[in-house]
Amino acid sequence: MTQLFKPAPDYDTKILLHRGVAGNIVKWNAERGFGFIKTAALEEEIFFHANNLVAKQQRAPRKNEAITVYAKYDETQKCWTATQVTSAERAEIADAYLAQEQALLRPMKDKLMWAVPLVCVWLILLMILAWQLAAISALVSGVAMILYAWDKHCALHARSRVPENSLHAVALLGGWAGALVARYLFRHKTQKQPFVGIFWGTVVLNVVLVGYLIFSGSLK
């Protein structure tokens, strides 16, 4: 019962924890994704969630790991909760990961710079020469982008993936324009072989087929 009427911490303590104090992870529940931190500044332990961890995906928390915790006092629950849990090691890992992501992102942006205009030119040409094919290509391209986005999501969360044959089939049926943009937009399926080679094969086959339908008069 005394815990229910425990007085709130004073202003100086709140400021101190807001600015960050040294501590150690004393408890960690990997299945539920939360734990507790002990610091010299407080008698009670500080609750933290996996989302509060810097470099949470690259480095799992370890018992007795030395960290710096930024925390706030929850007036409703009458407890301390972390807003960020970091350390020199975690900050270094996060910076390295960010640099790596930026290095990967730059070439994807460069490829989007030519992929988007190429797709726009292709769809405009189809609109001029055969609006029916343009409509089909735009529709299937939208489906392709959704499939690539979903497959990327599944890859990140270890879920059942979209079969590669399905992705190739959609591209072959006219959705390669959307697939091309999606690959660079979502940074997905851009290097894996033989996927990349087969993808460009579907592009060539679709362009040849469309050219045949238009110039042979088959659409009339």
pLDDT at residue number 5: 56
Reported pTM: 0.59
Encoding tokens for residue 192? 């894996």
pLDDT digits (tens, 9 = 90+) for 81-103: 999 999 999 999 998 888 877 76
The CA-atom distances, in angstroms, between 194 and each of 19, 158, 185, 199 are 51, 22, 20, 9
pLDDT digits (tens, 9 = 90+) for 13-45: 999 999 999 999 999 999 999 999 999 999 999
- Domain positions in the chain are 11-86, 100-215
Instruction: Give CATH for domain 11-86.
Output: 2.40.50.140
Can you spell out the DSSP letters for 141-159? HHHHHHHHHHHHHHHHTT-
pLDDT digits (tens, 9 = 90+) for 162-200: 999 999 999 999 999 999 999 999 989 998 899 999 999
